[in-house]
Structure 1
């Protein structure tokens, strides 16, 4: 067991890449789903691939594309994506001491920080490995971008209507996975319930995307006030 523990926390690029390989398959499935949904929502294949390469955040990408596909504004799409990515600010603060280098180098390294690579880079006791972050992040980014490209081809030539294959449910399912750990606590359940109530109240008359942003803001304000 001690040997296994040593391997798991080995602070090298190769160790980070190796540790994240099982998760890369799940990232690839989401990437294919995103690519297909992006095409059905009116994005070009190039735009979808560039979005995956630069945003590199599945939940934010699904939210933005879903809002745009429903006729929502760019502002609403950006607002929803920003709120969903807010957690990365706290994650980045934890990683900052391990990144090193100048501002631009830290910015590039931070681009590789997603939930999975952050977890792989964690060494315990508040310490992170830059090398493990790079290894894990590069594998995940490559899988995400390649899968998105494949999804745009599948969406344009083979999939047709994503709803027929259930791909339209990918974002709600991903959101529920992210939400589930938080609703185990009373305050989390209250925030989720208030957000759902706000969204349901606004859906009949508010522009597409606005209910999502309003629900997120309402839940955030409610959780901060308690």
Structure 2
């Protein structure tokens, strides 16, 4: 009976919902693995295991967490570390404004929705062609990364010494590759290519000079400005077939 019920549930999912599940889970795997890096680096910077895990459980924002740990490791004051993390966390508020129209979180559901509104859940949600698929993508990605990120943070904190320099593993590149996969189906017009190229150039240029996460904020501003002007033509959204092929 359970197998039949499971097959029936899968059969009732639309192609766009199945697409959002696949994209969400692929991002979950890539991003969760990167949590090992945070756990190991946090402990190496002087935090204990419980403090490290508390940051992932409560803050749950990779850019903010790495910024805080970076300031602590560099000998900065706690107030400076908190301020840096808070500034980077402002972008999640902007994400909340963009997902609110289609997420439909009401009542008590707003609390987990706010906690799970991060780069990845927002990106997967916005990459879907209809509202139901967007909601599925958001929740699958948000819940999956929350669980995976916290588990891998604990793993990194416990075995960081054994792993050595986790930055050599290239886990950050895996997370970036997942984002490129989400972006690719949308690059079907000159305007979309211009937005992506301008944002990438700005982010790459600022990475060596600014704290972690700040280049992303700058790239978002550039994307908004270039996208708002729409001077290269109307942006084209990927249809279900193209997006599903990319997944």
Query: 2:80 is matched with which residue?
Result: 76
User: Gapped runs of 5+ residues in structure 1?
Assistant: 200-210
Query: 1:141 is matched with which residue?
Result: 146
How many residues matched? 198
Q: Secondary structure at the match of 1:86?
A: helix
For residues 85 and 154 of structure 1, the distance between their equivalents in structure 2, rounded to whole angstroms, comes to 28
Show CA shifts across 1:79-104 (max 9, x none): 222232222222101222323322x5
For residues 136 and 82 of structure 1, the distance between their equivalents in structure 2, rounded to whole angstroms, comes to 23
For residues 191 and 115 of structure 1, the distance between their equivalents in structure 2, rounded to whole angstroms, comes to 15
Q: Secondary structure at the match of 1:59?
A: helix
Matches within 5 A, 1:1-226: 6-9=14-17, 17-97=21-101, 98-102=103-107, 104-122=108-126, 123-124=128-129, 129-156=134-161, 158-159=162-163, 162-163=164-165, 165-166=166-167, 184-185=197-198, 212=211
Q: 1:196 to 1:51 in 2, by over 3 A?
A: closer
**How far 1:140 sits from its partner (Å)?**
1.0
For residues 22 and 71 of structure 2, the distance between their equivalents in structure 1, rounded to whole angstroms, comes to 35
For residues 31 and 204 of structure 2, the distance between their equivalents in structure 1, rounded to whole angstroms, comes to 25
**How far 1:136 sits from its partner (Å)?**
2.1
**How far 1:43 sits from its partner (Å)?**
0.7
For residues 133 and 88 of structure 1, the distance between their equivalents in structure 2, rounded to whole angstroms, comes to 14
